[in-house]
Amino acid sequence: MSSKFANLLSQARNRPIGEGTTEESTVEPKVEQGSESSNIGGKQPLQLTAPTPLAARTQNNTKQAKSSTPTRRTAALDTPIQTQPIAAEISSRGRPRTGKRSDPNYTQITAYITKQTHRDVKVALLQEGQGREISEVVEECLAAWLKQQK
């Protein structure tokens, strides 16, 4: 049982509850079960084999985020908002700095395609099962198109 939350939750559950409030709550300390659950060795639905980040940056979100008027606080976004320990945390545990986002040879573009095409591409990529991303298909298509222009 190596979850970073396990300890925290048991501490939280043992805290004095209801202090200063009138809401009654039944304190029913539950015995920590450990990890001897029966599903070990069973199938592991936690392992997603297909890459999932596609919808994490859907067209709509990017579009809306870009077009929303900056508020007076936006300036704060440009300044580092993390303190030292947290920044360290991110660099050690966050997204590895090996992706296209951090690669100087790559740039991010925004393009509008129909939702239908977007959906079909995502499905086709999942069926392909190679873990390829839309970016790679776009790169491939545009490079082929350029070649054919010559």
Ligand X SMILES: Nc1ncnc2c1ncn2[C@@H]1O[C@H](COP(=O)(O)OP(=O)(O)O)[C@@H](O)[C@H]1O
Least CB distance to other proteins at residue 149 (A): 34
Q: Is 2 in the site for other proteins (CB under 8 A)?
A: yes
Of the candidates 135, 121, 125, 131, which has an alpha carbon nearest to the alpha carbon of residue 47? 131
Least CB distance to ligand X at residue 16 (A): 31
User: Phi and psi dihedrals of 106, rounded to 5?
Assistant: -115, 150
Q: Which residue has the tokens 């190596």?
A: 2
- Of 57 and 100, which CB lies nearer to other proteins in the complex structure? 57
Give the amino acid at 5.
Answer: F
Q: Are 41 and 7 in contact (CB under 8 A)?
A: no
- Of 80 and 104, which CB lies nearer to other proteins in the complex structure? 80
Q: Are 87 and 80 in contact (CB under 8 A)?
A: yes
Least CB distance to ligand X at residue 58 (A): 8
Number of residues that bind ligand X (CB under 6 A): 2
Among 10, 61, 74, 91, binds ligand X (CB under 6 A): 61
Q: Is 130 in the site for other proteins (CB under 8 A)?
A: no
4 binds, among other proteins, ligand X, none (CB under 5 to 8 A by kind): other proteins
Neighbours of 125 (CB within 10 A): 19
